[in-house]
Chains A and B, each alone.
Chain A
Amino acid sequence: MIPLLELREVTVRFGTQAAVRDVSLALQPGAALGLVGESGSGKSTLLRVLLRLQDVASGQILMDGAEITTARSARLRALRCDVQVVFQNPHSALNPRLYVHDAVAEPLQIQGGLSRTRLRARIDGLLEDVGLGEEFLWRYPHELSGGQKQRVCIARALAPGPRALLLDEPTSALDVSVQAQIIDLLRRLRARHQLAFLFISHNLAVVQLLCEEVAVLRQGAGGGARPGCPGAARAGA
Protein backbone atom coordinates (compact mmCIF):
# COMPACT_ATOMS: atom_id res chain seq x y z
CA MET A 1 0.00 0.00 0.00
CA ILE A 2 1.22 3.49 -0.80
CA PRO A 3 1.58 5.50 2.41
CA LEU A 4 -0.54 8.61 2.77
CA LEU A 5 2.43 10.43 4.20
CA GLU A 6 6.02 9.32 4.23
CA LEU A 7 9.32 10.69 5.45
CA ARG A 8 12.53 9.31 3.99
CA GLU A 9 15.76 9.92 5.87
CA VAL A 10 14.74 13.40 6.84
CA THR A 11 17.22 15.65 8.60
CA VAL A 12 16.36 19.07 9.95
CA ARG A 13 19.00 21.48 11.16
CA PHE A 14 18.67 24.61 13.23
CA GLY A 15 22.02 26.29 12.67
CA THR A 16 24.57 23.56 13.19
CA GLN A 17 22.29 21.57 15.49
CA ALA A 18 20.45 18.62 13.95
CA ALA A 19 16.97 18.62 15.53
CA VAL A 20 15.97 15.56 13.53
CA ARG A 21 18.48 13.09 12.08
CA ASP A 22 17.78 10.63 9.24
CA VAL A 23 14.24 9.82 10.34
CA SER A 24 12.03 7.70 8.11
CA LEU A 25 8.43 6.93 8.88
CA ALA A 26 5.25 6.17 7.03
CA LEU A 27 1.61 6.83 7.81
CA GLN A 28 -0.72 4.47 5.95
CA PRO A 29 -4.22 5.59 4.95
CA GLY A 30 -6.56 5.04 7.90
CA ALA A 31 -3.74 4.02 10.26
CA ALA A 32 -2.94 5.53 13.64
CA LEU A 33 0.72 6.05 14.40
CA GLY A 34 1.88 7.29 17.79
CA LEU A 35 5.03 9.36 18.03
CA VAL A 36 6.56 9.51 21.49
CA GLY A 37 9.69 11.02 22.96
CA GLU A 38 10.86 13.50 25.57
CA SER A 39 11.08 17.25 25.15
CA GLY A 40 13.66 18.12 22.55
CA SER A 41 13.50 14.74 20.83
CA GLY A 42 12.16 16.32 17.64
CA LYS A 43 8.46 15.32 17.76
CA SER A 44 7.05 18.73 17.01
CA THR A 45 9.72 19.45 14.41
CA LEU A 46 8.67 16.31 12.53
CA LEU A 47 5.08 17.46 12.64
CA ARG A 48 6.06 20.81 11.17
CA VAL A 49 8.00 19.00 8.45
CA LEU A 50 4.95 16.94 7.53
CA LEU A 51 2.88 20.12 7.30
CA ARG A 52 5.61 21.72 5.20
CA LEU A 53 5.96 24.46 7.77
CA GLN A 54 9.59 23.53 8.26
CA ASP A 55 12.14 23.00 5.49
CA VAL A 56 14.39 19.98 5.63
CA ALA A 57 18.18 19.96 5.24
CA SER A 58 18.05 16.61 3.47
CA GLY A 59 15.64 13.77 2.81
CA GLN A 60 12.25 13.52 1.16
CA ILE A 61 8.62 14.08 2.11
CA LEU A 62 6.07 12.10 0.10
CA MET A 63 2.32 12.19 -0.06
CA ASP A 64 0.50 9.37 -1.85
CA GLY A 65 3.89 8.39 -3.23
CA ALA A 66 4.55 11.78 -4.85
CA GLU A 67 7.31 13.97 -3.57
CA ILE A 68 6.19 17.20 -1.91
CA THR A 69 9.51 18.16 -0.33
CA THR A 70 9.61 21.45 -2.18
CA ALA A 71 6.01 21.75 -3.41
CA ARG A 72 4.66 25.29 -3.60
CA SER A 73 1.37 27.24 -3.55
CA ALA A 74 -1.48 25.34 -5.24
CA ARG A 75 -0.01 21.90 -4.53
CA LEU A 76 0.53 22.90 -0.93
CA ARG A 77 -3.05 24.15 -0.57
CA ALA A 78 -4.32 20.80 -1.78
CA LEU A 79 -2.02 19.06 0.67
CA ARG A 80 -3.40 21.06 3.53
CA CYS A 81 -6.94 19.99 2.71
CA ASP A 82 -5.85 16.41 3.10
CA VAL A 83 -3.66 16.83 6.14
CA GLN A 84 -4.91 18.92 9.05
CA VAL A 85 -3.49 19.61 12.46
CA VAL A 86 -4.70 19.97 16.05
CA PHE A 87 -2.28 21.70 18.38
CA GLN A 88 -1.44 21.15 22.00
CA ASN A 89 -2.78 24.26 23.63
CA PRO A 90 -6.38 25.03 22.67
CA HIS A 91 -6.17 28.29 24.61
CA SER A 92 -3.74 29.77 22.11
CA ALA A 93 -4.85 27.92 18.96
CA LEU A 94 -8.06 29.91 18.48
CA ASN A 95 -8.27 33.54 17.47
CA PRO A 96 -9.80 35.25 20.53
CA ARG A 97 -11.70 37.70 18.28
CA LEU A 98 -13.47 35.08 16.17
CA TYR A 99 -16.75 33.42 17.09
CA VAL A 100 -16.74 29.62 17.07
CA HIS A 101 -18.78 29.90 13.87
CA ASP A 102 -16.14 32.03 12.17
CA ALA A 103 -13.23 29.88 13.32
CA VAL A 104 -14.81 26.80 11.76
CA ALA A 105 -16.04 28.72 8.70
CA GLU A 106 -12.63 30.11 7.79
CA PRO A 107 -11.13 26.95 6.25
CA LEU A 108 -14.41 26.35 4.38
CA GLN A 109 -14.42 29.89 3.00
CA ILE A 110 -10.82 29.50 1.84
CA GLN A 111 -11.93 26.44 -0.13
CA GLY A 112 -14.83 28.48 -1.50
CA GLY A 113 -17.81 27.19 -3.45
CA LEU A 114 -20.33 26.93 -0.64
CA SER A 115 -23.52 28.95 -0.61
CA ARG A 116 -24.46 30.74 2.59
CA THR A 117 -27.01 28.12 3.62
CA ARG A 118 -24.75 25.19 2.74
CA LEU A 119 -21.89 26.79 4.66
CA ARG A 120 -24.08 27.09 7.75
CA ALA A 121 -25.31 23.51 7.39
CA ARG A 122 -21.73 22.28 7.09
CA ILE A 123 -20.67 24.19 10.22
CA ASP A 124 -23.64 22.82 12.15
CA GLY A 125 -22.66 19.32 11.04
CA LEU A 126 -19.03 19.77 12.06
CA LEU A 127 -19.95 21.07 15.51
CA GLU A 128 -22.38 18.22 15.97
CA ASP A 129 -19.56 15.85 14.98
CA VAL A 130 -17.48 17.08 17.91
CA GLY A 131 -20.38 17.11 20.35
CA LEU A 132 -21.09 20.85 20.47
CA GLY A 133 -24.64 22.11 20.09
CA GLU A 134 -25.94 25.11 18.18
CA GLU A 135 -25.69 27.27 21.30
CA PHE A 136 -21.90 27.37 20.85
CA LEU A 137 -21.98 28.97 17.38
CA TRP A 138 -21.87 32.55 18.56
CA ARG A 139 -19.54 32.23 21.49
CA TYR A 140 -16.01 33.55 21.75
CA PRO A 141 -13.15 31.26 22.80
CA HIS A 142 -12.93 32.89 26.25
CA GLU A 143 -16.47 31.72 26.94
CA LEU A 144 -15.46 28.08 26.45
CA SER A 145 -13.73 25.57 28.71
CA GLY A 146 -10.46 23.96 27.64
CA GLY A 147 -12.21 20.81 26.45
CA GLN A 148 -14.78 22.79 24.47
CA LYS A 149 -12.02 24.83 22.82
CA GLN A 150 -10.20 21.65 21.83
CA ARG A 151 -13.46 20.37 20.31
CA VAL A 152 -13.69 23.56 18.24
CA CYS A 153 -10.09 23.06 17.10
CA ILE A 154 -10.95 19.51 16.04
CA ALA A 155 -14.06 20.70 14.18
CA ARG A 156 -11.95 23.32 12.40
CA ALA A 157 -9.40 20.66 11.43
CA LEU A 158 -12.16 18.43 10.04
CA ALA A 159 -13.68 21.27 7.99
CA PRO A 160 -11.71 20.74 4.75
CA GLY A 161 -12.49 17.00 4.87
CA PRO A 162 -8.96 15.76 5.58
CA ARG A 163 -7.73 12.19 5.25
CA ALA A 164 -5.21 12.60 8.05
CA LEU A 165 -5.11 14.49 11.33
CA LEU A 166 -1.79 15.38 12.89
CA LEU A 167 -2.43 15.66 16.61
CA ASP A 168 0.27 17.38 18.65
CA GLU A 169 -0.38 16.49 22.31
CA PRO A 170 -4.05 17.39 21.95
CA THR A 171 -4.95 16.39 25.50
CA SER A 172 -1.93 17.37 27.57
CA ALA A 173 -3.30 20.82 28.43
CA LEU A 174 -6.59 19.31 29.62
CA ASP A 175 -7.80 17.76 32.88
CA VAL A 176 -7.96 13.96 32.96
CA SER A 177 -11.76 13.83 33.04
CA VAL A 178 -11.82 16.01 29.91
CA GLN A 179 -8.91 14.13 28.34
CA ALA A 180 -10.98 10.95 28.49
CA GLN A 181 -13.83 12.69 26.64
CA ILE A 182 -11.49 13.94 23.89
CA ILE A 183 -9.86 10.53 23.46
CA ASP A 184 -13.29 8.99 23.09
CA LEU A 185 -14.27 11.67 20.56
CA LEU A 186 -11.10 11.12 18.51
CA ARG A 187 -11.69 7.37 18.38
CA ARG A 188 -15.24 7.84 17.15
CA LEU A 189 -14.26 10.47 14.56
CA ARG A 190 -11.50 8.25 13.24
CA ALA A 191 -13.92 5.38 12.68
CA ARG A 192 -16.62 7.59 11.17
CA HIS A 193 -14.37 9.45 8.71
CA GLN A 194 -11.72 6.76 8.08
CA LEU A 195 -9.06 9.19 9.24
CA ALA A 196 -5.38 8.47 9.60
CA PHE A 197 -3.84 9.81 12.84
CA LEU A 198 -0.32 10.86 13.61
CA PHE A 199 -0.55 11.28 17.35
CA ILE A 200 2.26 13.00 19.21
CA SER A 201 2.37 12.48 22.95
CA HIS A 202 4.65 11.96 25.89
CA ASN A 203 1.97 9.84 27.56
CA LEU A 204 2.28 6.20 26.51
CA ALA A 205 -1.01 5.26 28.16
CA VAL A 206 -2.87 7.73 25.94
CA VAL A 207 -0.97 6.62 22.82
CA GLN A 208 -1.97 3.05 23.59
CA LEU A 209 -5.65 4.00 23.52
CA LEU A 210 -5.50 5.65 20.12
CA CYS A 211 -2.75 4.05 18.06
CA GLU A 212 -1.89 0.68 16.62
CA GLU A 213 1.72 1.56 15.99
CA VAL A 214 4.26 3.55 17.96
CA ALA A 215 7.50 5.20 16.89
CA VAL A 216 9.93 6.39 19.52
CA LEU A 217 12.13 9.41 18.94
CA ARG A 218 15.25 10.02 20.93
CA GLN A 219 17.52 13.00 20.42
CA GLY A 220 16.25 13.53 16.92
CA ALA A 221 16.51 9.95 15.70
CA GLY A 222 13.97 7.15 15.46
CA GLY A 223 14.73 4.63 18.19
CA GLY A 224 13.90 1.00 18.83
CA ALA A 225 10.55 -0.61 19.42
CA ARG A 226 9.19 -0.29 22.90
CA PRO A 227 7.87 -3.44 24.53
CA GLY A 228 4.55 -3.07 26.31
CA CYS A 229 2.98 -1.09 23.51
CA PRO A 230 0.33 -2.69 21.37
CA GLY A 231 1.00 -3.69 17.81
CA ALA A 232 4.39 -3.97 16.22
CA ALA A 233 6.14 -0.84 17.35
CA ARG A 234 8.00 0.40 14.35
CA ALA A 235 10.33 3.29 14.01
CA GLY A 236 12.28 4.81 11.22
CA ALA A 237 16.04 4.97 10.79
Chain B
Amino acid sequence: MSLIEIQDCRLAFDGFEGRVHVLDGIDLAIESGESVGIVGETGCGKSALARSLLRLNPAPPARIVSGAIRYDGADILAMDAAALRRLRGGTIGMVFQDPVTYLNPVFTIGRQMEEVLRAHESGLSRAQRRARCIELLDSVRLPQAASLLDRYPHELSGGMRQRVLIAEALAGNPRVLVADEPTTALDVTIQRQILALIAGLVARLGLTLMLISHDLGVIGAACRRIVVMYAGTIVEDAPAEALFAEPQHPYTRGLLAAMPDLRQPDHMPSGIPGSIPNLRDPPQGCRFHPRCPLAMSVCRSARPVLRGAPHAVACHAVGDWAVAP
Protein backbone atom coordinates (compact mmCIF):
# COMPACT_ATOMS: atom_id res chain seq x y z
CA MET B 1 0.00 0.00 0.00
CA SER B 2 1.30 3.43 -0.88
CA LEU B 3 1.59 6.16 1.75
CA ILE B 4 -0.54 8.56 -0.28
CA GLU B 5 -3.10 7.26 -2.74
CA ILE B 6 -5.18 9.47 -4.96
CA GLN B 7 -7.60 7.57 -7.17
CA ASP B 8 -9.59 9.01 -10.03
CA CYS B 9 -10.00 12.25 -8.09
CA ARG B 10 -12.35 14.82 -9.59
CA LEU B 11 -12.56 18.23 -7.97
CA ALA B 12 -14.91 20.97 -9.09
CA PHE B 13 -15.56 24.54 -7.98
CA ASP B 14 -19.16 25.64 -8.25
CA GLY B 15 -19.16 29.29 -9.28
CA PHE B 16 -21.71 31.86 -10.39
CA GLU B 17 -20.95 31.15 -14.02
CA GLY B 18 -21.05 27.39 -13.75
CA ARG B 19 -18.91 24.54 -12.57
CA VAL B 20 -15.15 24.67 -13.05
CA HIS B 21 -13.54 21.26 -13.44
CA VAL B 22 -10.28 21.86 -11.63
CA LEU B 23 -9.07 18.27 -11.27
CA ASP B 24 -10.25 15.68 -13.74
CA GLY B 25 -9.44 12.09 -12.88
CA ILE B 26 -6.14 12.37 -11.01
CA ASP B 27 -4.40 9.06 -10.27
CA LEU B 28 -1.31 9.36 -8.11
CA ALA B 29 0.34 7.02 -5.64
CA ILE B 30 3.27 8.22 -3.54
CA GLU B 31 5.44 5.79 -1.58
CA SER B 32 6.92 6.57 1.81
CA GLY B 33 10.23 8.44 1.45
CA GLU B 34 9.64 9.51 -2.15
CA SER B 35 10.24 13.09 -3.27
CA VAL B 36 7.70 13.98 -5.92
CA GLY B 37 7.57 17.23 -7.84
CA ILE B 38 4.34 18.46 -9.37
CA VAL B 39 4.92 20.85 -12.24
CA GLY B 40 2.53 22.73 -14.49
CA GLU B 41 1.45 26.19 -15.52
CA THR B 42 -1.10 28.61 -14.11
CA GLY B 43 -4.46 26.99 -13.51
CA CYS B 44 -3.36 23.40 -14.11
CA GLY B 45 -4.62 22.40 -10.67
CA LYS B 46 -1.31 21.67 -8.96
CA SER B 47 -2.07 23.77 -5.87
CA ALA B 48 -5.65 22.48 -5.74
CA LEU B 49 -4.23 18.95 -5.75
CA ALA B 50 -1.80 19.75 -2.92
CA ARG B 51 -4.55 21.39 -0.91
CA SER B 52 -6.92 18.46 -1.42
CA LEU B 53 -4.45 16.28 0.48
CA LEU B 54 -5.18 18.39 3.55
CA ARG B 55 -8.76 19.22 2.56
CA LEU B 56 -7.79 22.88 2.48
CA ASN B 57 -9.79 23.81 -0.60
CA PRO B 58 -12.66 25.94 0.71
CA ALA B 59 -15.88 23.92 0.46
CA PRO B 60 -18.13 25.30 -0.87
CA PRO B 61 -17.29 26.22 -3.63
CA ALA B 62 -14.88 23.27 -3.85
CA ARG B 63 -16.43 19.83 -4.10
CA ILE B 64 -14.88 16.41 -4.64
CA VAL B 65 -17.14 15.02 -7.35
CA SER B 66 -15.74 11.51 -7.22
CA GLY B 67 -12.63 9.56 -6.35
CA ALA B 68 -10.66 8.78 -3.22
CA ILE B 69 -7.75 10.36 -1.35
CA ARG B 70 -6.10 8.11 1.24
CA TYR B 71 -3.21 8.54 3.63
CA ASP B 72 -1.75 5.27 4.90
CA GLY B 73 -5.03 3.60 4.09
CA ALA B 74 -7.17 6.18 5.92
CA ASP B 75 -9.78 7.97 3.85
CA ILE B 76 -9.00 11.69 4.08
CA LEU B 77 -12.33 12.62 2.50
CA ALA B 78 -14.23 10.89 5.33
CA MET B 79 -12.23 12.33 8.24
CA ASP B 80 -14.02 14.19 11.04
CA ALA B 81 -12.78 17.52 12.38
CA ALA B 82 -10.56 16.00 15.08
CA ALA B 83 -8.88 13.61 12.66
CA LEU B 84 -8.36 16.45 10.19
CA ARG B 85 -6.68 18.55 12.88
CA ARG B 86 -4.25 15.71 13.55
CA LEU B 87 -3.66 15.25 9.82
CA ARG B 88 -2.97 18.91 9.19
CA GLY B 89 0.47 19.66 10.56
CA GLY B 90 0.65 16.46 12.61
CA THR B 91 0.91 14.02 9.71
CA ILE B 92 1.26 16.29 6.71
CA GLY B 93 3.04 19.62 7.08
CA MET B 94 2.56 22.33 4.49
CA VAL B 95 4.68 25.26 3.34
CA PHE B 96 3.03 27.93 1.22
CA GLN B 97 4.23 30.21 -1.52
CA ASP B 98 4.27 33.66 -0.04
CA PRO B 99 6.02 33.87 3.33
CA VAL B 100 4.72 37.41 3.79
CA THR B 101 1.04 36.52 3.88
CA TYR B 102 1.29 33.32 5.89
CA LEU B 103 2.83 34.88 8.97
CA ASN B 104 0.64 37.03 11.19
CA PRO B 105 2.19 40.51 11.26
CA VAL B 106 0.98 41.38 14.77
CA PHE B 107 2.42 38.39 16.64
CA THR B 108 6.05 37.55 17.34
CA ILE B 109 7.67 34.58 15.65
CA GLY B 110 7.81 32.77 19.00
CA ARG B 111 4.12 33.20 19.68
CA GLN B 112 3.17 31.88 16.24
CA MET B 113 5.43 28.88 16.55
CA GLU B 114 4.16 28.07 20.04
CA GLU B 115 0.64 28.09 18.70
CA VAL B 116 1.57 25.23 16.38
CA LEU B 117 3.25 23.34 19.21
CA ARG B 118 0.25 23.76 21.51
CA ALA B 119 -1.94 22.25 18.81
CA HIS B 120 0.24 19.20 18.29
CA GLU B 121 2.17 18.63 21.51
CA SER B 122 -0.15 19.70 24.29
CA GLY B 123 1.93 18.10 27.07
CA LEU B 124 4.84 20.56 26.85
CA SER B 125 5.54 23.15 29.52
CA ARG B 126 6.23 26.72 28.54
CA ALA B 127 9.97 26.32 28.91
CA GLN B 128 9.90 23.09 26.91
CA ARG B 129 7.92 24.78 24.14
CA ARG B 130 10.47 27.55 23.94
CA ALA B 131 13.32 25.08 23.85
CA ARG B 132 11.57 23.16 21.06
CA CYS B 133 11.04 26.39 19.07
CA ILE B 134 14.75 27.16 19.30
CA GLU B 135 15.56 23.60 18.25
CA LEU B 136 13.23 23.95 15.23
CA LEU B 137 14.73 27.28 14.19
CA ASP B 138 18.20 25.74 14.52
CA SER B 139 17.11 22.88 12.28
CA VAL B 140 16.21 25.35 9.50
CA ARG B 141 19.60 26.99 10.08
CA LEU B 142 18.43 30.30 11.42
CA PRO B 143 21.15 31.86 13.55
CA GLN B 144 20.46 33.32 16.99
CA ALA B 145 17.21 31.43 17.26
CA ALA B 146 16.50 32.61 20.81
CA SER B 147 16.47 36.30 19.91
CA LEU B 148 14.48 35.58 16.76
CA LEU B 149 11.56 34.33 18.82
CA ASP B 150 10.87 37.84 20.11
CA ARG B 151 10.94 39.43 16.67
CA TYR B 152 8.06 40.30 14.35
CA PRO B 153 7.73 39.04 10.76
CA HIS B 154 8.51 42.47 9.26
CA GLU B 155 11.93 42.40 10.88
CA LEU B 156 12.88 39.30 8.87
CA SER B 157 13.95 38.97 5.23
CA GLY B 158 11.88 36.88 2.80
CA GLY B 159 14.27 33.94 3.02
CA MET B 160 14.24 34.02 6.83
CA ARG B 161 10.44 34.10 6.89
CA GLN B 162 10.26 31.09 4.62
CA ARG B 163 12.63 29.27 6.98
CA VAL B 164 10.33 30.12 9.88
CA LEU B 165 7.36 28.70 7.95
CA ILE B 166 9.30 25.52 7.21
CA ALA B 167 10.14 25.24 10.91
CA GLU B 168 6.44 25.64 11.74
CA ALA B 169 5.49 23.01 9.18
CA LEU B 170 7.89 20.61 10.91
CA ALA B 171 6.73 21.45 14.45
CA GLY B 172 4.15 18.65 14.55
CA ASN B 173 6.70 16.03 13.45
CA PRO B 174 4.89 15.26 10.19
CA ARG B 175 5.85 12.37 7.93
CA VAL B 176 4.96 14.24 4.76
CA LEU B 177 5.97 17.74 3.73
CA VAL B 178 3.90 19.48 1.07
CA ALA B 179 5.61 22.60 -0.27
CA ASP B 180 3.57 24.76 -2.64
CA GLU B 181 5.89 27.04 -4.65
CA PRO B 182 8.12 27.57 -1.59
CA THR B 183 10.75 29.54 -3.51
CA THR B 184 8.72 31.51 -6.04
CA ALA B 185 8.59 34.72 -4.01
CA LEU B 186 12.33 34.65 -3.29
CA ASP B 187 15.46 35.87 -5.07
CA VAL B 188 17.34 33.32 -7.18
CA THR B 189 20.27 33.04 -4.77
CA ILE B 190 17.93 32.54 -1.81
CA GLN B 191 15.87 30.00 -3.82
CA ARG B 192 18.86 27.67 -4.00
CA GLN B 193 19.43 27.91 -0.24
CA ILE B 194 15.80 27.12 0.57
CA LEU B 195 15.71 24.19 -1.86
CA ALA B 196 18.92 22.79 -0.37
CA LEU B 197 17.43 23.22 3.11
CA ILE B 198 14.25 21.35 2.15
CA ALA B 199 16.21 18.55 0.46
CA GLY B 200 18.46 18.28 3.51
CA LEU B 201 15.54 18.12 5.96
CA VAL B 202 13.72 15.54 3.82
CA ALA B 203 16.81 13.32 3.83
CA ARG B 204 17.61 13.79 7.53
CA LEU B 205 14.09 13.33 8.86
CA GLY B 206 13.09 10.67 6.32
CA LEU B 207 10.19 12.77 5.09
CA THR B 208 8.05 12.17 2.05
CA LEU B 209 8.07 15.31 -0.08
CA MET B 210 5.51 16.74 -2.45
CA LEU B 211 6.93 19.87 -4.06
CA ILE B 212 4.73 22.03 -6.26
CA SER B 213 6.26 24.48 -8.71
CA HIS B 214 5.80 26.02 -12.14
CA ASP B 215 9.57 25.87 -12.55
CA LEU B 216 11.04 22.60 -13.88
CA GLY B 217 14.46 23.76 -12.73
CA VAL B 218 13.30 24.00 -9.11
CA ILE B 219 11.57 20.61 -9.28
CA GLY B 220 14.55 18.99 -10.95
CA ALA B 221 16.87 20.21 -8.19
CA ALA B 222 14.87 18.65 -5.34
CA CYS B 223 12.82 15.71 -6.66
CA ARG B 224 13.53 12.23 -7.97
CA ARG B 225 10.12 11.86 -9.58
CA ILE B 226 8.24 14.46 -11.60
CA VAL B 227 4.53 14.67 -12.33
CA VAL B 228 3.49 17.05 -15.12
CA MET B 229 -0.02 18.46 -14.97
CA TYR B 230 -2.05 20.22 -17.63
CA ALA B 231 -5.56 21.64 -17.24
CA GLY B 232 -6.49 19.42 -14.30
CA THR B 233 -5.01 16.19 -15.61
CA ILE B 234 -1.70 14.37 -15.19
CA VAL B 235 -0.07 14.11 -18.59
CA GLU B 236 3.25 12.55 -17.60
CA ASP B 237 4.68 10.92 -14.49
CA ALA B 238 8.30 9.82 -14.64
CA PRO B 239 11.65 9.59 -12.85
CA ALA B 240 13.35 13.00 -13.08
CA GLU B 241 16.28 11.89 -15.26
CA ALA B 242 13.98 10.11 -17.70
CA LEU B 243 11.68 13.10 -17.96
CA PHE B 244 14.50 15.49 -18.78
CA ALA B 245 16.30 13.05 -21.09
CA GLU B 246 13.30 11.68 -22.94
CA PRO B 247 10.17 13.73 -22.39
CA GLN B 248 7.25 11.88 -23.98
CA HIS B 249 4.14 14.02 -23.80
CA PRO B 250 3.96 16.88 -26.33
CA TYR B 251 3.11 19.28 -23.50
CA THR B 252 6.18 18.26 -21.47
CA ARG B 253 8.31 18.67 -24.56
CA GLY B 254 6.80 22.10 -25.18
CA LEU B 255 7.47 23.11 -21.58
CA LEU B 256 11.11 22.05 -21.82
CA ALA B 257 11.54 23.79 -25.18
CA ALA B 258 10.16 27.01 -23.68
CA MET B 259 12.75 27.19 -20.91
CA PRO B 260 15.63 29.59 -21.59
CA ASP B 261 18.96 27.98 -20.77
CA LEU B 262 21.92 30.06 -19.61
CA ARG B 263 24.33 27.41 -20.85
CA GLN B 264 22.86 27.39 -24.36
CA PRO B 265 22.84 31.02 -25.49
CA ASP B 266 21.97 30.03 -29.06
CA HIS B 267 18.93 28.03 -28.09
CA MET B 268 15.90 30.21 -28.74
CA PRO B 269 13.05 29.05 -26.52
CA SER B 270 9.82 28.42 -28.34
CA GLY B 271 6.43 29.03 -26.80
CA ILE B 272 3.48 26.69 -26.91
CA PRO B 273 0.90 28.14 -29.32
CA GLY B 274 -2.55 28.96 -27.97
CA SER B 275 -3.45 29.37 -24.34
CA ILE B 276 -4.74 27.25 -21.48
CA PRO B 277 -8.36 26.11 -21.86
CA ASN B 278 -11.27 27.50 -19.93
CA LEU B 279 -11.99 24.82 -17.34
CA ARG B 280 -15.66 25.69 -17.28
CA ASP B 281 -15.90 24.12 -20.67
CA PRO B 282 -12.72 22.07 -21.16
CA PRO B 283 -11.94 20.45 -24.52
CA GLN B 284 -13.35 16.95 -25.04
CA GLY B 285 -10.95 14.04 -25.28
CA CYS B 286 -7.39 15.05 -24.45
CA ARG B 287 -7.44 18.48 -22.84
CA PHE B 288 -4.22 19.44 -24.64
CA HIS B 289 -5.39 18.60 -28.16
CA PRO B 290 -6.24 22.16 -29.33
CA ARG B 291 -2.59 23.17 -28.79
CA CYS B 292 -0.94 19.87 -29.64
CA PRO B 293 1.31 19.46 -32.70
CA LEU B 294 0.54 15.71 -32.80
CA ALA B 295 -3.25 15.93 -32.42
CA MET B 296 -5.27 13.34 -34.35
CA SER B 297 -8.99 12.74 -34.61
CA VAL B 298 -8.97 10.26 -31.70
CA CYS B 299 -7.49 13.00 -29.44
CA ARG B 300 -10.62 15.08 -29.92
CA SER B 301 -12.96 12.34 -28.75
CA ALA B 302 -11.21 9.90 -26.40
CA ARG B 303 -9.51 10.80 -23.17
CA PRO B 304 -5.99 9.26 -23.14
CA VAL B 305 -5.18 7.00 -20.18
CA LEU B 306 -2.03 7.46 -18.09
CA ARG B 307 -0.01 4.29 -18.66
CA GLY B 308 3.51 2.91 -18.56
CA ALA B 309 5.79 2.34 -15.56
CA PRO B 310 7.91 3.85 -14.23
CA HIS B 311 7.62 6.36 -17.07
CA ALA B 312 3.89 6.95 -17.48
CA VAL B 313 2.35 9.19 -20.11
CA ALA B 314 -1.22 10.03 -21.12
CA CYS B 315 -1.13 10.49 -24.88
CA HIS B 316 -2.62 8.73 -27.88
CA ALA B 317 0.31 9.67 -30.10
CA VAL B 318 3.35 8.42 -28.17
CA GLY B 319 4.50 5.19 -26.54
CA ASP B 320 4.08 1.54 -27.57
CA TRP B 321 0.32 1.92 -27.61
CA ALA B 322 0.38 4.89 -29.98
CA VAL B 323 -2.56 5.09 -32.33
CA ALA B 324 -1.65 5.38 -35.99
CA PRO B 325 -2.62 8.84 -37.26
Min CB distance, A232 to chain B, in Å?
15
A38-B188 in contact (CB<8A): yes
Q: With A177-B255, A180-B258 given, is the CB distance from A38 to B41 under 8 Å?
A: no
Residue B318, interface by CB 8 Å: no
Contact with B along A101-140 (1 / 0, CB 8 A): 0000000000000000000000000000000000000000
Chain B residue numbers with a CB within 8 Å of A184 are 268, 270-271
How far does the alpha carbon of A181 sit from the alpha carbon of B275 in the complex, in Å? 11
Q: How far is the CB of A97 from chain B (nearest CB, A)?
A: 20
Question: A41 — nearest CB in chain B belongs to which residue?
Answer: B187
Nearest residue (CB) in B for A179 is: B258
Kindly supply a per-residue 1/0 record for chain B positions 247-268, scoring 1 wherever the CB is within 8 Å of any chain A CB and 0 otherwise: 0000000110111111001001
CA distance A208 to B263 in the complex (A): 10
CA distance A145 to B270 in the complex (A): 18
Partner of A181, one of B42, B265, B271: B271
- Contact partners of B28 in chain A: CB under 8 A: none
Size band of the interface chain A makes with B: 20 to 34
Q: Do A205 and B258 touch across chains, with their CB atoms under 8 A apart?
A: no
In the complex, what's the smallest C-beta–C-beta distance from B125 to chain A, in angstroms?
Answer: 40
Residues of chain B within 8 A of A203, CB atoms compared: 188, 260
Closest beta carbon of chain A to B8's beta carbon, Å: 27
Q: Is A42 engaged at the interface, CB distance under 8 Å to the other chain?
A: no
Q: Which of B189, B261, B271 is within 8 Å of A205, CB to CB?
A: B261
Name the contact of A177 in the complex, choosing from B158, B261, B268, B272 (C-beta under 8 A): B272
- Complex Cα distance A230/B259, Å? 18
Interface residues of A in 19-34 (CB under 8 A from B): none
Q: Which residues on the A side are within 8 Å of B276 (C-beta)?
A: 145
Complex-state Cα separation, A203 to B261, whole angstroms: 10
B214 within 8 A of A: yes
One of B42, B265, B270, B271 near A208 (C-beta < 8 A): B265
Are the C-beta atoms of A209 and B271 separated by less than 8 Å? Answer: no
A39-B187, A176-B214 given; A208·B260 CB < 8 A: yes
The answer to whether B319 has its CB under 8 Å from any CB of chain A is no
- Do A209 and B275 touch across chains, with their CB atoms under 8 A apart? no
Smallest beta-carbon distance A151→chain B, Å = 11
B308 within 8 A of A: no
Interface size on B, residues (CB 8 A): 25
Q: Is A18 an interface residue (CB 8 A)?
A: no
- The 8 A CB mask of B19-39 against A (1 = contact, 0 = none) is 000000000000000000000
CA distance A147 to B272 in the complex (A): 12
Nearest-neighbour CB distance to chain B for A174, whole angstroms, equals 9
A190 within 8 A of B: no
Docked-complex contact B187 and A38, CB < 8 angstroms: yes
The docked-state distance in angstroms from the alpha carbon of A209 to that of B270 is 12
Closest-CB distance, A187 to chain B (whole angstroms) = 8
Output the nearest chain A residue to B41 by Cβ-Cβ distance.
A175
B255 engages A208 (CB within 8 Å): no
Complex Cα distance, B254 from A198, in Å, reads 29
Inter-chain CA distance A146–B265, complex, in Å, is: 26
Q: Is B269 an interface residue (CB 8 A)?
A: yes
Q: Chain B residues near A176: list those with CB within 8 A.
A: 41, 214-216, 255, 258-259, 269
Q: In the complex, A12→B71 CA distance in Å?
A: 55
Which residues in B have their C-beta under 8 angstroms from that of A180?
257-258, 260, 269-272
User: Which of A175, A181, A205 has a CB less than 8 Å from the CB of B262?
Assistant: A205
Q: Taking beta carbons and an 8 Å cutoff, which residues of A are in contact with B? A: 38-39, 145-148, 175-184, 202-206, 208-209, 228, 230
12 A–B pairs (Cβ distance < 8 Å), ordered by A? A38-B187, A39-B158, A145-B275, A147-B275, A175-B41, A177-B258, A179-B260, A180-B269, A184-B270, A202-B187, A203-B260, A205-B260
Top-8 shortest CB links A-B:
A181-B271, A205-B260, A180-B271, A177-B272, A180-B269, A175-B41, A180-B258, A205-B262
Residues on B close to A: CB < 8 A? 41-42, 158, 187-189, 214-216, 254-255, 257-262, 265, 268-272, 275-276
Given contacts A178-B275, A205-B259, 6 further A-B contacts (CB under 8 A): A38-B189, A176-B216, A177-B258, A180-B258, A180-B270, A205-B260
